[in-house]
Structure 1
Amino acid sequence: MTWMDDQLRADLQNGFIDSSRPAGALGPEILTNRQGNTIFNEIKNELRTCTHFKMAVAFITPAVLVPIKSIMMDLAQKGVGGELLTGTYLQFNSPKVFAELMKIPNLKVRLTEEVGFHQKGYWFDHQDYETLIIGSANLTMDALLKNAEWCLKVSSKHQGAVVQQFAAEFGDQWQAAVQLNAAWLTAYQKGWQAPVLNSASQTSHSDQVMPNAMQKAACKRIEALRQAGEKRALVISATGTGKTYLAAFAVQSAKPNRVLVVAHREQLLLKARASFQKIIGGQDQDYGFFTSQQTPGTARYVFATVQTLARHLDQIGPADFDYVIIDEVHHAGAASYQKIINWLQPRFLLGLTATPDRTDDFNVYALFNYQLAYEIRLQEALSERMLCPFQFVGVSDYVWQGQTVSEKTPLKHLIQPERVDWIIKVADYYGHDGDVLHGLIFCSRTKEAQELAMLLTQKGYPAQALTGQDSAAKREQAVARLQAGELVYLITVDVFNEGIDIPCVNQVIMLRDTQSAIIFLQQLGRGLRKAPGKQFLTVIDFIGNYQHNYLIPQALTDDHSHQRSRALQTLRAEPTLGISTISFTRLAYERILASVEKAQLTGMSLLKSEFSQLKQRLGRTPLMADFQRAGILDESIFAEKFKTYPRFLQKMGETVNLNLQTEPVLQFLTEELANGKRQHELILLAMLTKQSTITVADYQTQLHQNGCWVDDATLASVKRVLTLEYYLTKGKIGSRIRYGNQPLIIMAGQQIQLHPQIQNYLRDAEFRLFWNDAIETGRLQAQKYDQKQPLTLNQRYTRMDAVKLLNNAQYMVPNGIGGYYFMGETGILFVTYHHSNTRAAIDFDNQFRSRTQLSFYSKTNRTLNSRDAEKLLNPNASLHLFVKNSDEQDQSQFVYLGLCQVMPGSAHEFLQKGTNKPIFGVELLLKHPVDQALYLAWQNEGAAHQFYQENS
């Protein structure tokens, strides 16, 4: 009997006989799209690790095939393929689906003619065993990501009855089915009619536009500001989220006498007028244009271009309009905008923009008195389905003579026929929604755009290059040709980053280094506007050896924290945004990974840029808490890189008077408390700042009111930390580590007092400002943590964090903690996870056997009779598990996975290879399953590196 037999036997015992028995990775499991889990992730993982697959599904949508194709491309390089059995039940599957399936070379497709074919089954061969996923989920984005679906996942040996039954059933239907080919598709296409969906949204009031939840919230905030007497307000709304509708709803609420809407292009004004009349209603004569050919007369709602208005301001009075709306207001630094804004004197001025942060030093926030009414971010808009979903694929750029495209690649190599052929091949493979391709290509150089347009046209893909030198009329003409299908691609450098509306765009190709997250999102946004019949946008990013590849995961998730761990998590987990997906082929993945690991995410130029933009937004010098509210620069950056926030401000060029006497206090607050991992100390200091002496009972009441756990051990720990007793150097009474000798509090009996010296420090206004800021920052950070218990699942902690939060009596340095540390019957286990598919590694390294079981090994030279084993095997021990991946660059941070226990009878002792020293191992059973995305990311990490080494 093999180890696989043992594993399956144990897993089946757990799944079907006794749930209290330990389970491994092969145990039966119900898959759902709940609590952060998705069926999509499970199927992706099975595909990536299998040696063969079979799928039988009734319904398929084109969108789901884009990320599937990314995996298929990698599998093809490994010689792995499979079969897909589907059909034409209810004619749900469009001809487009079958055309896209035919592009996948390592996928054989057959069509069953069986009436009522409605199956949903997935089979994956893993050499030693096979896995089945059978249930309700079709191969569609909604089914795999959002719908309430149930699927049963089971594993079996090849000779198991269940997989043999599946194989027999699949084989019978496969033999009876017809092969998908061009002739079959032609015949199907001629007789196919799109199914009519029974949807309430398609009945009665289909032409009535109602505000969505975000638009309602924005209008409510705008109206509140107006009622409060504010004269101006700014709304930041991602491209395609309906800024014009939002403005119309705001006007509908305000009921002004006359309204002026200002935009920079007549085409936008025409659409704005139609939107306003659709929302507000009224007669045609209520709406008028002020352009070079038209004057508005007495119209109540007037639409004007910036250019015309600036030239003819003498024709209107400053108070003619009591409500003025300016679109794309980030351009308001221009002389024409300034002339208009300085002339008009409305009761209320509303500015709309998708890109407020500028590089031209113009402060749009100051223009609106720093009244930011509302901000609709890209991720929120996607979740609310305000935008068209996108399927992003990061692929490898062309490799020429062993060299991949980089910033330094000569132009002649960028436009060589082989690279153009590669671009065409990849773009065709991943495809696009709909029958007609409407594509945008962003490249790095004007000459490259021009040459690519010529070469693509020669190869049957009519394309036109547009540059900054082209007139607005030429651009509009080119856009019209793209919309009409006369052009397949518009190719540009940065011309279409903003201010252009082409809803039909269904494919965006990026052929350049991502030097700015803002520009990346602007270019992505060109294709996110909804259009009739448009279901999704395909985004293909050709990733070369670019210096700024690290920006891609940040840009996709709009992450401004500058934390390497977050960028790595995005890269590994490939998160979904609503039903939008992110996928990377393995070679592209490794290129981005290398860039992330090399990147100076907290380099001074990046920090100064974030600081400058936030300062513009606030109209004052930001405090540390301001960064946390804005989701910019995680607090850990200030602690690790600068020790105190005043030192960060000095580096930003701000004038700060640092007091060397008080600086250790601010360093203590910043490094130890402002991370918010425990709120108890922060609550106490906030109370004592207002009232220098309080009672223990009052303090406990505040803890309860703030949802914090309270016990004697924690209260004692808080006292040791704030008196700095916790930081006493072992054996050296009176000397302390790092934070000097100034206690923050005095506790006597039932009284708690702010130390008189701290009270004296607080008389200084600047110290008080930074003291309060650190406390407020910590309170904001604390919202990420479950304050009802010492540690929060899936959050990151250092060894010192864990020891302190579990109420150790004394500060510990990492070397004193090691791989595990015991405080009485409380054990803290720190695991560096090395994933490998080899049996040898499973025998001698820390390995997850499933989301609830981890093989754990002791330090070297430990036997089952050692003190370490006695502590670990104590049945009363409370064991806390922390894990980090082996390639984490920040080796100090571990993810907390919760409590665990040693599986009875799993302890075993052996001699470590290479040293012949004793070591023992146990199986740990986790109380909570590891987060699905985290687990799959860790499991796939080893396979990704191995694949890269073999194919790079």
Structure 2
Amino acid sequence: MEPDKKLIVNSDKDNLLDELISSIQSCEKFYFSVAFINFSGLQLLLDPLKEAEKHGIEGKVITSTYLNFTDAKALEKLKEFHNLDLKVFVAEKELGFHTKAYIFEYKDCYKVIIGSSNITQSALKSNIEWNIEIILKEDMFIKDIMREYDSLWNSSVIADDEFIRRYQDFLSSLEKLPDIRQIIYEKPEYIVANRMQKRAIENLEKLRFFGENKALVVAATGTGKTYMSAFDVKKLRPKRLLFVVHREEILKKAKETFELLLPNENISFGLFTGNYKEKEATYLFATNFMISSYIEEFKKDEFDYIVIDEAHHATSSTYQKILHYFEPNFMLGMTGTPERADNSNIYDIFDNNVALEVRLHDALDDELVIPFHYFGITDIDEVDLSDINIDNFAEITKRLKVNERVDFIINKMIFYSYDGSKRKGLGFCASIDHAEYMAKEFNNRGFSSVSLVGGDSPEQRENYIQRLENDNDRLEFIFTVDIFNEGVDIPSVNTVLMLRPTNSPIIFIQQLGRGLRKHENKSFLTVLDFIGNHNKTFLIALALNGRKYYDKESLKIAVSTNFANIPGVTHIQMDKISQERILEQIDQENFNSMKYLKEEYFEFKKRNHGRTPYYLCDYLTFDGAPDPLKFSDKEKTYTHFIAKVEKNEHLKNLLLNEEFEGTLQELSSMLPLKRIHEFVILRFLLKKEDITLDQAKTETLKFINDVDDDTLLHAFENLSQFYYDRIQKKNKPKLVTFNDNILHKTSLFSNLLDNEEYRKFIEDVLTYGIFRYEREYGDKYYGIPHFKLYEQYQMKDAALLSNYRKTYSAFRGSGLLVNGNDYFLFIDLHKEAEIKESINYNDQFIDEQHFQWETPNNTAQNSDRGKNIIFNQARDTHLHLFVRKYREIDKKTEPYIYIGKGSTIEYHGEKPITVKMELEHEIPPRLYMELTKKV
């Protein structure tokens, strides 16, 4: 038998963890020999090991004490499995232990994986590792390996309770020694900005270069916003700085950070609070209450640079007093929770200049927060939520208060365990009654717990938090409802229990975020979600997917692959019942129906403190918020949707103005933006009567790194309706005119903007479009045509983005559209939406690098067009490929995905020609799976 060999590396395509899981589940026996086993890696293997135990699959595991990297907790957990024998090679100074081998015995062959990976979360999922897998029948090679394994086994000691206890005591003694690495790290010359901080500082510099004097940074707690502000201040060197926040303890930490990064700079640092009055300090750190109380003792231009930390409080009266009084050269707002501004839009306060926005998936990708291990667990049969409204918390509470469920939760909690020496958990409950019940039942079972609800005093809250964080306090759990959803920082939390039905992706993400703060005593967060049979279980998938702009197919792929697209070593695992239940619900739900959209809208309104979200920009404030363009698409404008679902007569009356409604429809039809130029130009015209090409270039460069003159000119022409057909010109309002290289506002546009209410809605659409473009496209210049790889496009977008200078309405209807040397291929992989098995095998992916396409039926090889396609490289023809899986889903036309350019390498046939193309860019594994996998 020729051995079957492959290289296993951790990549988007696969990783060692997946290979180990499938091998443990399918083998008859297994043998591991690894130098290190951390609990972070072992937890990811607990379920397959439990399945192996259930099916009588026996295993042997050897690990070592080499360099003291193996966790005693991991050894304890391995000992719980009755099908495993565990030994430890006790390493000596002269003799190291470096093996990383995984051997699986099958009925008629062996699988051997040897390489570089130990059992840690990083080695199994994300580190650069090389592991060679060989499958072959028993031969001398296998006999040599098993002989060596047996020799190691005989040289190792049994990991009994006494051995583990002594090893744990030894590790504990090491923790009392000083950490030399930490001492080095705290020297300022060793502190460098992380990726998030560098991006923020670059964007702040760009905004200041273009004359802006305010900016906002949105990033989760623990991602380093204070360090970022200190780096920016260090670079800018203001003469006087004011740092404002509402709590003295935050101020003290901020002051320490600035002192650390700015030593020996002849700068004095001082506090201005209830306890300190060091107002003469060069860099002053003040509470909002104190600075607003003494504000007249300072000159208006006293400070060159002002930092407003926790800027979501900036709508309060004390902050407003500060913001309106001082006139700094630059003001920076920082927040992790922009949604908490209750009275006005936090973005408006900082002139809608967002220097950086880091949401959960971004923070995971940039390693600004710790990874989480999420386990979706099917709830017990005794809890039936299938026939009730998930907003009926009284009835839900009644059904969740089941003693058997408490026992089930505790069993799972013990099985999956936690990272660290003490369990520090938050349990999110359905109601106050439920939280009190859970605390009582946990206490009855020996797990010290308390309930904490909105009515408890701040002192009580602070006391419980301190107790939970204290390693010497017995308290293990705080059960709560919503009070820890946002703005509460408990860095050492290592366990989160989701004990209520998920009825909002926003709430889910906020609760998950409570445990993601980095802390020296944890390397990951354990999340246990007890998933019931209620009819909105699929909302969990929306929250975990991390892509606001989802469709049914991509969501199903994400669920069926356990969210393989999640960044880094974060691990998401759902049991089969939960997975199938969610997939079934996604299949049954019509995400485009008015019924679903209304439910989604009113759920968001509830999260928006019950206030009507009149503006698109309201949706920018919440991580996990729905996509408001779905509402807009349903009724042509978002304002029309709100007027309808809220039965708002005032809005209906506003929309009776045909010019106003027509303008909203025109602007809304451009969303989501595929290039930013038009909206930047129109936003400039909100305050000016006209704009030149040079002014437009300056404004656009605030958002993207480069601007070409032809695209700007094309944007001017496009706004002036140069490429509209006769019907479009008749029915669409004309907002601008173009002559003498200047774009002028029309009187129609000016009159609309003179009306304050009309202006707010128009400005909102423009601002939202720009914000969303920045979030999806960043500041990169994409050239002409202006296509970003793997973004979504409609057929008409190709005309706009290639600066097509003819009527756009003619640029549709065929699978092949042409603009000069640019050929745009629009391809449906499944030709009939309703019959998903119907695939045109002439248009298909051959693999990640090659695609087969059939030309339109009338294309001959000897025609000019045929030659341009089959000899595209020689004839300098650019073949741009756009693909979609289905033409329609739930009666809504699906967008295409741009997969880049292709070059013809083979062809055959006549009218049509079948060509094989090599893609310029290999398709990312996740997208390839999404486009080719059937769920």
Name the residue aligned to 1:262.
246
Deviation at 1:190, TM superposition (A): 1.6
Aligned residue number for residue 426 of structure 1? 412
Work out whether 1:452 is the aligned partner of 2:438. Answer: yes
The TM-score normalised by the length of structure 2 is 0.67
Q: 1:577 aligns with which of 564, 567, 584?
A: 567
Decide whether the 8 Å contact of 1:440 with 1:508 is kept in 2.
yes
Q: 1:30 to 1:386 in 2, by over 3 A?
A: closer
CA contact (8 A) 2:314 2:341 kept: no
Moved more, 452-461 or 634-643: 634-643
Per-residue CA distance 1:840-892 (angstroms, 9 max, x = gap): 999x999999756899999xxxxxxxxxxxx9xx9989996846389976684
Moved more, 270-279 or 495-504: 270-279
| Greater Cα shift, 225-234 or 433-442 | 225-234
Match of 2:876 in 1: none
| Deviation readout 1:707-745 (Å, 9 max, x if unpaired) | 9999xxxxxxx9xx98678xxxxxxxx9x9x9989999x
Calculate percent identity across the aligned residue pairs. Answer: 27
Work out which of the residue numbers 913, 920, 933 in structure 1 matches 2:926. Answer: 933
Counterpart selection for 2:524 from 522, 536, 543: 536
- Code of the residue aligned with 1:642 in structure 2: it is E
Partner of 2:147: 172
The equivalent residue for 2:371 is 389
Distance 1:901 1:142, change over 3 A: same
Say yes or no: does 1:524 pair with 2:502. no
Q: Distance in 1 between matches of 2:531 and 2:406?
A: 15
Residues 884 and 893 in structure 1, CA contact (< 8 A), matched pair in contact too: no
Q: What does 1:312-327 correspond to in 2, within 5 Å? A: 316=294, 318-320=296-298, 322=302, 327=309
Q: Secondary structure at the match of 2:46?
A: helix
Do the aligned partners of 1:454 and 1:463 also contact (CA within 8 Å) in 2?
Answer: yes
The residue identity in structure 2 corresponding to 1:137 is: S
Aligned equivalent of 1:92, options 66, 69, 78: 69
Do structure 1's residue 637 and structure 2's residue 630 form an aligned pair?
yes
5+ residue gaps, structure 2, are 684-688, 694-705, 712-717, 856-865, 873-878
1:442 aligns with 2:443: no
Deviations along 1:660-682, one digit per CA (max 9) or x if unpaired, are: 799999978866x7566799999
The equivalent of 2:19 in structure 1 is: 43
Residue 296 (str. 1) matches residue 277 (str. 2): yes
Code of the aligned partner of 1:462: S
SS in 1 for 2:422: coil
Picking from 809, 827, 830, the partner of 2:828 is: 830
> Is the 2:219–2:336 contact (alpha carbons within 8 Å) kept by the matching residues of 1?
yes
Larger RCO (alpha carbons 8 Å, 6+ apart): 1
Whether contact under 8 Å (1:57, 1:85) holds in the other structure is: yes
Query: What letter matches 1:140 in structure 2?
Result: T
Q: Say which SS state the counterpart of residue 487 (structure 1) adopts.
A: coil
Matching residue of 2:121: 141
TM-score by length of 1: 0.66
After superposition, the C-alpha distances for 1:657-702 in whole angstroms (9 at most, x for unaligned) are: 678799999978866x75667999999999xx99999xxxxxxxxx
**AA aligned opposite 1:397:** D
Sort the Cα spacing of 1:625 and 1:786 in 2 relative to 1 into closer, same or farther, 3 A.
Answer: farther
How many pairs does the alignment contain? 851
| Alignment-derived partner of residue 470 in structure 1 | 456
Shift of the 461–623 alpha-carbon distance from structure 1 to 2, 3 Å rule, reads closer
Q: CA deviation at 1:281?
A: 6.2
The partner residue of 2:336 within 340, 354, 364 is 354
Distance 1:603 1:40, change over 3 A: farther
- Which amino acid is 1:584 matched to? M
Judge conservation of contact 1:443–1:510 (CA < 8 Å) in 2.
yes
Cα separation, partners in 2 of 1:313 and 1:928, compared to 1, 3 Å: closer
Partner of 1:513: 501
Aligned residue for 1:523, secondary structure, equals: helix
Alpha-carbon distance between aligned partners in 2 of 1:574 and 1:339, rounded to the nearest angstrom: 43
2-structure distance, mates of 1:569, 1:364? 36
Equivalence for 1:64:
41
Contact 1:669 1:775 in 2 (8 A): no
Which residue of structure 2 lines up, in the alignment, with residue 603 of structure 1?
597
- The 1:41/1:642 distance shift into structure 2, 3 A limit, reads farther
2:476 matched residue in structure 1: 488
Gaps of 5+ in 1: 13-25, 694-704, 711-717, 726-733, 745-751, 835-839, 859-870, 908-920, 943-952
Aligned amino acid, residue 386 of structure 1: L
Q: Specify the SS of the correspondent of 1:441.
A: strand
Deviation per CA, 1:120-155: give whole Å up to 9, x if none: 455678999987654433333333444333344x67
CA gap of 1:384–1:185, structure 2 versus 1, over 3 A, is farther
Conservation of the 8 A alpha-carbon contact between 1:317 and 1:344: no
Partners of 2:870 and 2:907 within 8 A in 1: no
Query: Aligned to 1:98, what secondary structure does the other structure show?
Result: helix
Task: Report the CA distance between 1:44 and its aligned residue.
Answer: 7.2
- What's the CA shift string for 1:231-267, capped at 9, x where partnerless? 976543411234455566667643438766531xx65
Q: CA offsets, 1:67-121, max 9 Å, x none?
A: 4435656777888886655444443322223234445677665556796543445
Letter aligned with residue 573 of structure 2: S
Matched to 2:495, the amino acid is Q
Q: Any conservation in 2 of the 1:709–1:787 contact (CA below 8 Å)? A: no
- Could you tell me which residue of structure 2 aligns to residue 212 of structure 1? 193
How many Å apart are 1:491 and its aligned residue?
1.5
Aligned-pair CA distance for 1:437 = 1.3
Q: Which amino acid aligns with 1:581?
A: H
CA contact (8 A) 2:541 2:555 kept: yes
Q: Distance in 2 between matches of 1:372 and 1:723?
A: 33
Name the residue aligned to 1:239. 221
- Does the Cα contact within 8 Å between 1:498 and 1:523 map onto a contact in 2? yes
Q: CA RMSD in A?
A: 7.0
Matched letter for residue 445 of structure 1: S
| 1:545 pairs with one of 533, 549, 557 | 533
How far did 1:279 drift?
4.9
Instruction: Kindly provide the CA deviation profile for residues 345-386 of structure 1, in whole angstroms up to 9, marking residues without a partner as x.
Output: 555576543212138445445556666565444444444433
**Corresponding residue number in structure 2 for 1:330:** 312
Distance 1:536 1:473, change over 3 A: same
Is the 2:24–2:104 Cα contact (8 Å) retained in structure 1?
A: no
Q: 1:863 is matched with which residue?
A: none
2: CA distance between counterparts of 1:288 and 1:742?
A: 58
Match runs of 1:786-797 below 5 Å: 794-796=790-792
The Cα shift of 1:812 comes to: 11
User: After the TM superposition, which of the residue ranges 504-513 and 349-358 deviates more from structure 2?
Assistant: 349-358
1:288–1:302 contact (8 Å) kept in structure 2: yes
- Cα distance in 1 for partners of 2:347, 2:767 equals 23
Q: Is the 8 A contact 2:509 2:623 kept in 1?
A: no
Partner-residue secondary structure (3-state), 2:40: helix
Deviations 1:801-827 (A, max 9, x none): 89999999999999x98xx9999x998
Q: 1:166 to 1:904 in 2, by over 3 A?
A: farther
| Displacement after TM superposition at 1:419 (Å) | 0.9
Amino acid in the other structure paired with 2:296: P
Alpha-carbon contact 1:66-1:538 (below 8 Å) kept: no
- TM-superposed CA distance for 1:931, in Å, is 2.5
Does the CA contact (< 8 Å) of 1:803 and 1:812 recur in 2? Answer: no
Give the conservation status (yes or no) of the 8 Å contact 2:396–2:430.
no
Contact 2:491 2:516 in 1 (8 A): yes
Q: Structure 1's 124 and 646: CA in aligned 2 closer, same or farther, altered over 3 A?
A: farther
Q: Kindly state the Cα deviation for residue 930 of structure 1 after the two structures are TM-superposed.
A: 4.5
Shift of 1:540: 2.1
CA distance in structure 2 between the aligned counterparts of 1:144 and 1:485, rounded to whole angstroms: 34
- The structural deviation recorded for 1:187 is 0.9
